[in-house]
Structures are given as structure tokens and as C-alpha cells.
Chain A
Amino acid sequence: MPKREYDVIIVGAGLGGLVCGALLAKWGLKVAVLDKNKQPGGKQIGVSVSGFKGEMWPTYGIPKEASPFGDAFKQLGIESKLDLIPGSNTLMYRQPKGKWVATVNPAGKQEMDATLNMFNAWQLSQKETELAMKVLAEMVLMTPEQLDALNDVSVRQWVAQQGDLPRPLFSFLAVQSNLMATGLYELVAIWELAKIMQIFGGSTNAYPRGGYFKLVNDIVDALKANGGELRLKSRVEKILVEDGCVVGVGTREEVFKAPIVVSNAGIQPTVLKLVGEEHFDKAYVNYVKGIVPSLGFCCQRYIFREPVMEHGVYVGTSADSYIDVKRHEEMRAGIIPPVVSMYAVNPAHFDPEMAPKGKQMLAIGTWCRPDPKAKEIKALQKTVDEQFEEMFPREAKYIEAKEGYVGPAQVSALSRDSVLPGLGGEAVGLAVSVGYCGRSKPSVKGPIAGLFYVGHDAGGAGYLGTHQAVSSGVRTAPVIRLFHEERTMFGK
């Protein structure tokens, strides 16, 4: 068996792993990134079919002003490659009598008018509007110190302190917990949600020219330009540990030696499968087993023969479309809510190169349980199809093809191995809820010398999934460099 030696091996070429690897390579470390898939990017794998390009799941929302992507590209010296295009987005709200009302946010900074329009769509009274304004303002205007104090408070607990909220506002916060924090409002920390809303509300949100996949490729190029290696179709079967220290990884054919292994494979698969329980204390294993997953996402693509979808992003909700703990349980029993929260991105709206001229592709979907064995996925996707027709009766007639129906099983195959029952198909990763985010976020430093985690599970700080992964890459890399320097200094 040939042996290869590196300073750092990164397991998994998701955005966290790639950013971390590229930065370490740029700082002079000998880096290899290994991934089981044919393409890099993890969950943000690119889709390219008959002239259409895009993501497998609707993804949007890179702040133009400041974002982990911006940080990463700047530090890698490829800032000029990040071309962010703002677009218009539409919030669609189904009123109790079944009428869908749209609130359009034009491209650019979020305006107060849009919020007021949203309240109109909710049919709030003057008094309710005032209360809603007050509650949202409170979230958006929280100081960092106030936010920090809310690490351990769930959205539900916080809402309970705000008095008697109008039903649509309560639903909005419950829905946002699903949408933005990819969790359940009883568990998601208000810290996460408020932080997301602050960033989202205070910035110009955009889509990258060429799609997220182009960003993945840019980072891969930076990795390679700095001497790093990317090895695809290389599934790591074991992280090797000797004497309580990491010594490398083994694929089916080869051993790659390195005193530092950074796992982008998810904290649970890393501990329970790649390293193995026997190398950890019992309490740590119990802790790792108990970390709460995010929700999953299931979706499909619509191909339009004419560019009938006017906006870049569509969000569809109702006062009753959120998933809470009870609904989550009901979904397991196959009960689908009458209206689902729906999310869709139209890449060609931002970058016309993303679709053949005169055509459009819409990635659309809804939230689900993260269980790769979830049986209700088909029913959910059918609900999305039906709901789209109800929301867009005119546009639906232009759909040429519906394809790419995927859910937790495909997410898990692409990214996180399922090592615990019901887990693996998380849309973003673990750790979005009280006890697992903010200052309680799992440490990037594993309890084994030389083992680090990168990605959404560890090291990142509040904001949407992909961003937490990129942020984790940016934050973890210096910790690893320091560890590398410590080792070099002591001649180990």
C-alpha cells in the first residue's frame, strides 16, 4: 500500500473543508482534500443539465456588504472572482380564505415598505402592526451583548415573553425558524434567528454569478494554485489514531499520513464511524450522539419554456405552514400540513447564463425530516407541485418538465453518512438549537490531538447554513495553523 504524507488532510470537500484547505495551503501547509463524490462542493454540488445550470436545492442570500464568502475570497486573494448579483424576491402569503398575496422586495437593500406590505398581507390591525413592528425592531436592533444573553433562549421562550402576538406574526417567527435556521421554533435559539434577521435585513442579498458551484470551483482553484491536492472519488473509511493522536486517514486502497485531520464529514459520522467510539470518553460519545440535527429539505426543478417567473426568489407561507415539534411528529406518521412553507430560486433571474436563452429553471422545495428513510417525501413533493399550481396558475402552464426530485436520502448519499437512526439528511448540518449554537457550539478541536471539525457543525457563528460552513472554514483554519506551528516548534 503506497503511503503519502501531508501536513493536513481534510476529509470532505464541502464548502467548509475547501475554504479551510485552501487557506492552509495558502499559508504554506501541505494539504490534501479527499472527497467521496465525483464533484467537490458537498451539499452545494452543481447541477448542469441541457444548458441549465444551478444548485440541487434553492440557495440564495449572500450579503453583498459583508459575508463569510467575502472574507474567504479576500483571504484567498481571489476577491475579484466574487461577483454578487442582487435580485428581486417575493414573499407570498396565503390568507385564511385561500387568497395568495404577494409582497415584492425589489433588488437591493431591504426597505421598510416591504415589511409594512407584509403586515398588510397578514391583514393586521393598526394595533397589531404596531406590536409586530416593535417585536421585529427589537430583534433587529439587539446589541451584540443582548444577543449573547439569548444563547440559551429558544424562539418559543422569547416569543412567550413578548406578550400576546398576532397569529401571523407568531407564525412568521415559527416559519422563519424553519426557513432561516432550518430548525423547530421550540428548539432554535433566538440568538441564531435574530442574528440571521439582522444580517438579512441590513444587507443587499445576492446570488453569485455562475452559481454557488462556480464559487466552489474558485476555491478549488485557489487550493490547487497554492499546491494543495483535491482527490475526488476517494472515500475515507477510517481516521487513523495512534497513542491518542491523529496520524492520517485510510481509504479502501491507500493510507494518507498526516498529524492533522480536519473532518468536514459531520461531527457524528466522524466520531462514531471514522474515528470510532473506542477512542473517546463515554461522556463525549453521549454528547455527540445527542446533538440535535437541523431539518431536511426536499425539492424538485421546474423547466419553463418561457421566462415567466419574474423574480429571483419566492417564499410561500401561511399562518399555518410552519413545522413545530408536533407537526414534525405528524409528518413521521405521514400527515402533511395543508399548506407547506415553500422556497424557490430562479438562477437565470440573476445571471442569464444559467439557462438557455428564453428559458428558466426553478429549484423549488420544502422542509422535511432529516431521516434518509423518511417515507413522506413523495407526498411533500406532490404538495409542493399542487401548491405551485395554486400560487401560479398562469406560470404553471409554461412548465415543460419537472425533474430532479430529491430529499434526505440523496442529501445523505451526497454528504453526511447516516450513522444514527433518523439522521444524515440534514439540509445544513447539526447544531442549530439551544445548547448547540452560540457559545455552546461544538468546539472545532476534537478531544483527540490533531483532530478538528469544520463545516456547519462546528466553529461557525450564526447565519444561514452554507455561510456557517464557510465561516467555519475561515475560523477553523487559524486554529489548525496554530496547532501545526506548536507541533513544529516542539519538533514533533
Chain B
Amino acid sequence: MKLANKENYDVIVVGAGPGGVTCAALLAKKGLDVLVLDKNERVGGKQMTASIKGYKGELWPTGGLPVKGGAWLEAFRALGIESKFRVRVKDMGNLYRRSGGEWLRTVTRMDPYELPDPNINFDMWEFNAKERELAMQILAEIALMPPERIGAFDDTTVREYLEQYEAVPPRFYGYFAFLTHAFNVGLIDLVPMSEVIKAFQRLMGQPLGYPMGGYGRMSEDFAQVAKDYGSEIKSRTRVERILIEDGRAAGVITKDAVYRAPIVVSNAGLQPTVLKLVGEQHFDKSYVSYVKGLLPSNGFTGCHWVLKEPVLEHGLYQISGDDAWWDLDRQDEVKKGKMPADLIITVLVPTNYDPEMGPKGKQLLVFGTPCSPNPADKTIEALWKKTDQQMAEMFPEIVPVVESKGPYSGPVQVSAQSRDQVLPAQGGEACGLCVTIGQCGKYKPSAKSPIAGLFYVGFDAGSTAFMGSQQAVDSGLKVAPLVYHYHLEKRQSASF
């Protein structure tokens, strides 16, 4: 073990996911000397840009970037590179199948944006007048709820929220189960209503799109800002330990070097940070128990198909149905090997947004379905198979033009690319921990750890509701000022 060439930094950020690079870039802009270390080849964490047979894109379908607001845009502004926030808007296709029926198709107009008419869904769901009235009432209540009331639903699951009403139609219940998946990658029985309402309100009022160059490019832009302000980004550098001295963060150890800094910001996930990188012995028992008890989000499986010619018209497809949504019971059934009739599937067509994402004239489809976050889960292959079957069934027109299929990815690949597995059945979360009651809203884990100078950034801590990478970036925006304040405190104190 040798000391690194440069011994002392102000801040070391472990992990270059969207939260880590946002935080690093903001701190670098404030004049701090920042070092970012990441085990992967490129920055971006779960949304790293991958190159697949001449195509660029993420390993999992990631779409629905709000164009007019949201954490990504705020971060581009805060870093002074708003002109690089280039998002292309395309219409969204919605597919729905009633039990045993045909696939019904509708389109949500994004360009120009039109607020979707709820009656389109109600027709599809064959709601009668009374059901329509109730559904309208519930949707209006959610859309118009003032911010100060939303927090009251931190302790109410989506299921409990709907159970307040008499006779909520099963399809409407299924719709919320779908939203809970889509927004929070969680289950209707566990996710608090406050999270769903916040996401619903943010997404409803604006067009959604996909960033030119992909999500990974946005993280790369932030990393470039950090570099422009003099920070270092080291890829392919896995942090093995976070050093603690006298109850304070003191630096990190990689396989062949020691980097010292009085502040370490971990984007490696709350559980891997506490249980592996720092080590249980540095924390109180109650904190270790708390950290071990945090529930992961669901996982996501992803598949790539390359089409010889562009066949699909829209940018994003959301697919659901009477029999597609999951709750705890259905998840248990899948574990036992009983596959549901249909799957929730998200299909992203990156080349429709940005032709540069693939060779000219061809089309890339990135699609997938939620799954268990467990890297050891045995049902993933069955889900891949089922997803492929359902794709062929929904879009028969693409079958003759499929040029290649794969790579397929699931919790194993997610974990390898981002969160190290330190507890059984965890590591392959699609977005991170903390989408369930007791872990979000006012209960979200603090970004300030119980060890002085150790902070968390990313989906797990420090931010309030919204979808995965939005929440990670928001955490970066919120954690950077905390870290900066701590830096100032330490500069004042002579012990630094």
C-alpha cells in the first residue's frame, strides 16, 4: 500500500452515480478540492452509457425526463451549463390489455404537450358513470393537494389511501399499482402515498423526454464541470475501505493507494457504506440495526433488441393491463414460479429521440419489467423469456426485422455496476433503498451519518420524493450545501 501521489483532498466522493457527480461538481464549483473514485469504466452509475454493438444507451430503459422542471434541470442550472440540458420530446404510446382481450393502444401527446384526458383511460377501463365520478374525485384530489398536506401521507400506503374510499374499481387500483411501480419501483402495499402524489404532480404538468446522448451523458457533463474546476475523477478505482480515525472520516483506501480527506461522501449506497466500506464496529448497534433493516426498492430487468429498420413510432411505451400489476401477493406467486398473464413493460426507443444513439437507419429498443432486487433470484430468466414473448405479441410488426437480441440484464448486472451486495436479497435495486413507509418523506435517512465528516449522497439519503435518478440528483443538490457547511466548520476549527 502506498500513499497516493496527491495526499490530501478536501472531499472524496465514493461512486460517480448521478448523485455523486452532482454533489462533486457543485463542491468543486465552490472551490473545494474534490476527488471522485468509481469502480466502473465510466461515470453515471446505474445510468452509465454503455456501448452495445455500435449503439449507445443505458442498460435499462430510463425515460420520462421532465423538460421544464425537476432535479436534472436544476442541477444543470446550478452548475451554469443549462445550455447543455438538451432534451428531445416524443409522444408516448400506452398499451393496455383487459383480461383475455386485445392490446388497446392510446397515445399521450408530448409534442405539443396536451394534458392527457382521463376519460381515455376510463373508456379503456370500461368505467360506468359512478366509477368515473369516484376516479375523477381521487385524481383531482391528488393533482391539487397542497404541499403542506402531502407530508401527512408519509405514513399511509397507496393501498391504504385507496381503501379509504368505498368500491374503488379494481382497474383503478391496478392503475395505482402500476404508478407505484413506474414512479417508485415499489409495491402498492409498502410505498407511501406521499411519494406517489409528489411524483404525480411533478410529471402531470409537463412534457417528458429523453436527453440527447442519453442519461449517462448528463452525468458525464457534470463530471466535466467537476474537472473544469480542478477536481479529479478516477475511474476503474474501487474503494475498499473508508478510513475512520478518532470517530471522524479521514479518507479512503483502494487496492493500491490511500487517499486522505476529512470529508467522505459516499454514493455507494447506505448499506454497503456502513456495513462494508466503514464497518459495523464504528457505529452504534441501533444504527447498524436500522441500516440493515432498510428495505430495497424493486429491481429491473432489461433487454435490448436491435431492429433492421425503424418500426416503432414513439419514444416511450408504457404497457400495463388488468393482470399486469404486482403487489406483495403477486410477487410471492412469481417467486413460486407462477408467472402473471401479462407483465408491466417499459419500452424506450433511444434512436427515435437521438439518431446518434445507433447506426443510421436502424432502431434500438431498450425494454424491461420490474423484478426482485435479489441478485440470486431464480425467476429473472423466466421474466426475460416472458418479456420477449409479450413484446412479440404486442408488436408483431417488429418480429421479422429483429436483427439481434441482448444483452439481457437483471439484478446481478445492476449490482455489479452499482451497489455491492452486502445483505442477502439486496444489491440489484433499480433505484436504491427507501421507497417504503418509514424510509421516505420525513423519514428519509439523513445525509449526515453519525460519523463526523461522513455523508451519503444518492437515492438512499438526503432527498425527498421523485423518481430514481431525479431523486439521486436532487440528493446531490441538497447534500452539497450540507457538506460545504461542514467544510467551513472544519476550516474554522483548528483540529483540521
In the complex formed, the residue of B with least CB distance to A422 is: B494
Q: How many residues of B contact A (CB 8 A)?
A: 18
With beta carbons under 8 angstroms apart, the residue of A186, A282, A433, A434 that contacts B284 is A282
B174 to chain A, nearest CB (A): 41
With beta carbons under 8 angstroms apart, the residue of B282, B284, B489, B495 that contacts A420 is B495
Q: Interface segment, A51-59, A165-173, A283-291?
A: A283-291
Q: Which of B468-496 contact A (CB under 8 A)?
A: 485, 488-489, 491-495
Contacts of B80 in A (CB 8 A): none
The CA-CA distance from A283 to B282 in the complex, in Å, is 9
Query: Are B493 and A286 touching (Cβ within 8 A)?
Result: no
Query: Are B493 and A282 touching (Cβ within 8 A)?
Result: no
A214 to chain B, nearest CB (A): 35
A161 to chain B, nearest CB (A): 13
A369 interface residue, CB < 8 Å from B?
Answer: yes
B263 to chain A, nearest CB (A): 12
B287 interface residue, CB < 8 Å from A?
Answer: yes
Contact with B along A318-349 (1 / 0, CB 8 A): 00000001001100100000000000000000
B247 interface residue, CB < 8 Å from A?
Answer: yes
Query: Are A187 and B492 touching (Cβ within 8 A)?
Result: yes
The CA-CA distance from A184 to B485 in the complex, in Å, is 12
Query: Are A184 and B248 touching (Cβ within 8 A)?
Result: no
**Chain B contact residues: helix, strand, loop or mixed:** mixed
Contacts of A423 in B (CB 8 A): 493-495
Contacts of B283 in A (CB 8 A): 282-283
Query: Are A282 and B282 touching (Cβ within 8 A)?
Result: yes
Contacts of A286 in B (CB 8 A): 247-248, 450-452
Q: Which of A329-387 contact B (CB under 8 A)?
A: 329, 332, 369, 371
Contact with A along B265-303 (1 / 0, CB 8 A): 000000000000000001110110000000000000000
Contact with B along A270-304 (1 / 0, CB 8 A): 00000000000111011101101100000000000
A491 interface residue, CB < 8 Å from B?
Answer: no
With beta carbons under 8 angstroms apart, the residue of B284, B485, B491 that contacts A281 is B284
B460 to chain A, nearest CB (A): 18
Query: Are B493 and A187 touching (Cβ within 8 A)?
Result: no
Contacts of A226 in B (CB 8 A): none
Contacts of A325 in B (CB 8 A): 488, 491-492
In the complex formed, the residue of B with least CB distance to A277 is: B247
Contacts of A371 in B (CB 8 A): 494
B495 to chain A, nearest CB (A): 4
Contacts of B247 in A (CB 8 A): 282, 285-286, 289
Contacts of A186 in B (CB 8 A): 488
The CA-CA distance from A241 to B62 in the complex, in Å, is 56
Contacts A282-B283, A283-B283 given; does A332 touch B488 at CB 8 Å: no
B30 to chain A, nearest CB (A): 11
Contacts from B to A (Cβ < 8 Å) = 247-248, 282-284, 286-287, 450-452, 485, 488-489, 491-495
7 pairs of residues in contact across A and B, judged by CB atoms under 8 Å: A281-B286, A283-B284, A286-B451, A325-B488, A329-B491, A423-B495, A433-B489
Closest CB pairs A-B (n = 6): A422-B494, A283-B450, A421-B495, A281-B284, A290-B452, A286-B247
